[in-house]
Structure 1
Amino acid sequence: MAEQSETLSDLPLAFSIPARHARGRIVRLDGVLNEILSAHKYPPLIEKTLAEALVLAALLGSAIKDDEGQLTIQAQTEEGAIDLLVCDYKDGALRGYVKHDPEKLAVLPANATLFGLFGKGYLAITFDRKVPEEKGSGRYQGIVPLEGDSLCSAAEHYFVQSEQIPTLIRVAIDHVDGPDGPRTVAGGIMLQHLADGEEGRERLHVRLDHPEWEHVSILAGSIKPQELTDSALPLEEIVWRLFHEEDQVRISTASRISKGCRCDPVHIRDVIARFAADERTEMAEDDGNITVNCEFCSRQFPISLASFDN
């Protein structure tokens, strides 16, 4: 185990256990999570669901090595209280939002199931990586039904079905009182069996019951929810508690996570300028502004119609 540092919140920690052909990530979201949630003022059940999705996005997105890569998680249905949930992660920047039906939400219990929230829906996980043009598209998307007890369960199913990688994901969410008032803390851990074994050995990813995977998944599954959400507990300490009996555990940190809405008034104006003058006139409201809403940061951007050259 590497020497401990104080990795507490908003900084993902990667780890690997070479002898067990396992790799993982662990993250705790605190300041950045509350910055994202405070922009929306969602009901508690929606906040909890979005917090879980943001942790998933941080766990998956922080594994993208190049600076131009993006991870997007989208859960969608036409039947449930939640119509659409979107989160994405790009170069350390995390953002997300939820569209929901207040009337359907009002009749759900506080501990509503995944099916109660979404009904019959699907989970789409998209990886966009920057690759040379001659190598084709760097986009890969997997879609699975929204099944199981949580978004984590659906994500585990995604990796088993779409990528054939045995995966364990655990997420915990807590509400705590701090000097600045109540806040939400969410943490998660993801453990995976490496896709390939050593040369000459069977391909490990086709065996969910491989003894090495069973061993490390049991250890990772023993994590307590309060460990993930304790903002005073270093992530290195959690990894040590889980895997201290292993011969070697390698750890490293990824990019620090920040709230990342990429809306930009200049860019928005440039996009609107591509429309014909008569189309822009139809977009404008009575005050002479074209108002663009950003769902991610809950902000409105009024662009004056008079600022365009006809």
Structure 2
Amino acid sequence: MSKTSEGSPSDGAPSTDWDRVLPFQLDALGVRGRLVRLSHALDEIIERHGYPLAVARPLAEAMVLCVTLATSLKYDGIFTLQISGDGPIRLLVTDLTTDGALRGYAQFDSWKLAVALGSGNEDAPEGYVPKLFGQGRLAFTVDQGQHTERYQGVVPLEGATLADCAHTYFRQSEQLPTGIKISARREASEGGHHWHAAALMVQQMPELDAGRIDVDLEQREDDWRRAVILMASATEAEMLDPALPGTKLLYRLFHQERPRQFEPRAFAARCRCSRDRIDRVLRSIKREELDDLRDKTGRVAVKCEFCSTEYTYDDRDLDRIYASAA
């Protein structure tokens, strides 16, 4: 079910529409899009790890990009975005399930990061991808279960920002023309730190889907350029303003095109790890190879990279696991 923005939404209380995607469509331009804004989910995922800001902000941007791309697809399973490189940040991984469970983590070299940032710098610099990731790749994976074929798209890390890298993917994969803008910011508060991240995406619709078969190529190109210019006019302050509802932001940007807004979809930070899952992983490893995982008490300790939950196993636990595999 959709609704059409016919006038400016009224001013009111601070927006509560964070951790959501708001799909919309610009029928006059033959363009569809989505506005994704994350806040509390980022706080839960990022702050528990204590990442330095230069790692945390790229992770926040990767997570909002993951949600933006995942919600533009039709799938039933898990969408994963992975960025790997030979720079100070070795790996960023974030994934989203179709039921709205979001998670993510980073791996980095503290010494290389300090050298790359230089003295007195804490945040990731503008155009940080080459400096912090080096040479690497961006991979998107859609996993719909063991009885289906996994889809994966891989492109080199080309560009100064993650949005640039996503544009490279769409160009090289011959997808529909797509524009993406991403912003992320961490602010200090009495309770610690608080995150806001947002992404705007516009995508040209197929002629048939847009009902514009009679529109000539030149007009379609002009309409597409207009949509991208309007999207790019969004400021970081607008995208990350916690008091600005997403509906009002879309009205500010696209009111002349009378955007149709669809039902929003919510997300939450939720890890999928469990003791049963860890049991299955350990069962796949020879017992004598687990000695490297033992802590000072002699127990095998396994820590989830996503949520930092630690699962410990004494010898009786291991007896149970390997007995069930016999």
Whether TM-score is above 0.5 comes out as yes
Residues of 2 paired with 1:144 and 1:30: CA distance?
28
Residues of 1 paired with 2:143 and 2:292: CA distance?
35
Amino acid in the other structure paired with 2:237: Q
1:300 to 310, 320, 325: 310
Residues of 1 paired with 2:216 and 2:310: CA distance?
51
Mark the CA change 1:208 to 1:293 in structure 2 (over 3 Å): closer, same or farther: farther
Tell me which residue corresponds to 1:106: 114
1:12 to 21, 27, 48: 21
Residues of 2 paired with 1:143 and 1:202: CA distance?
34
What is the CA deviation profile of residues 84-111 of structure 1, one whole-angstrom value per residue up to 9, with x for unaligned ones?
A: 1111111211111111111110022341
Tell me which residue corresponds to 2:82: 74
Structure 2 counterparts to residues 263-274 of structure 1, below 5 A: 263-274=273-284
Tell me which residue corresponds to 1:140: 151
Structure 1 residue 39 displacement after superposition: 1.4
Tell me which residue corresponds to 2:103: 95
Is 1:174 matched with 2:181? no
Structure 1 residue 281 displacement after superposition: 6.2
- RMSD between superposed Cα atoms in Å: 2.7
Is 1:128 matched with 2:137? no
Structure 2 counterparts to residues 1-310 of structure 1, below 5 A: 1-2=4-5, 8-66=17-75, 68-78=76-86, 80-90=87-97, 91-109=99-117, 110=123, 111=125, 113-129=128-144, 137=149, 139-197=150-208, 198=211, 210-254=221-265, 256-279=266-289, 284-285=294-295, 287-307=297-317, 308-309=319-320, 310=323
Count how many residue pairs are aligned between Structure 1 and Structure 2: 301
Residues of 2 paired with 1:234 and 1:253: CA distance?
12
- Quick check: 1:7–1:235 contact (8 Å CA) kept in 2? no
- Quick check: 2:129–2:161 contact (8 Å CA) kept in 1? yes
Structure 1 residue 233 displacement after superposition: 0.6
What is the CA deviation profile of residues 245-278 of structure 1, one whole-angstrom value per residue up to 9, with x for unaligned ones?
A: 1145233212x11112111013212432354554
Residues of 2 paired with 1:282 and 1:143: CA distance?
33
Structure 1 residue 8 displacement after superposition: 2.4
Secondary structure class of the residue paired with 1:302: strand
Secondary structure class of the residue paired with 1:244: helix
Tell me which residue corresponds to 2:120: none
What is the CA deviation profile of residues 149-174 of structure 1, one whole-angstrom value per residue up to 9, with x for unaligned ones?
A: 20111011111211422111111122
The answer for unaligned runs of 5 or more in structure 1 is none
Secondary structure class of the residue paired with 1:40: coil
Residues of 1 paired with 2:171 and 2:219: CA distance?
9
- Quick check: 1:288–1:306 contact (8 Å CA) kept in 2? no
Structure 1 residue 202 displacement after superposition: 8.7
Greater shift in the superposed pair: 112-121 or 92-101? 112-121
What is the CA deviation profile of residues 169-192 of structure 1, one whole-angstrom value per residue up to 9, with x for unaligned ones?
A: 111122334453431211111111
- Quick check: 2:29–2:220 contact (8 Å CA) kept in 1? no
What is the CA deviation profile of residues 47-95 of structure 1, one whole-angstrom value per residue up to 9, with x for unaligned ones?
A: 11101101101112233445x32211111122x1111111111121111
Amino acid in the other structure paired with 2:141: T
Residues of 1 paired with 2:102 and 2:24: CA distance?
21
- TM-score normalised by the chain length of structure 1: 0.87
- Quick check: 2:143–2:151 contact (8 Å CA) kept in 1? yes
- Quick check: 1:93–1:260 contact (8 Å CA) kept in 2? yes
Secondary structure class of the residue paired with 1:71: strand
Residues of 2 paired with 1:173 and 1:277: CA distance?
44
Amino acid in the other structure paired with 1:81: P
- Quick check: 1:195–1:203 contact (8 Å CA) kept in 2? no
The answer for unaligned runs of 5 or more in structure 2 is 118-122
- TM-score normalised by the chain length of structure 2: 0.83
Amino acid in the other structure paired with 2:44: E
- Quick check: 1:175–1:184 contact (8 Å CA) kept in 2? yes
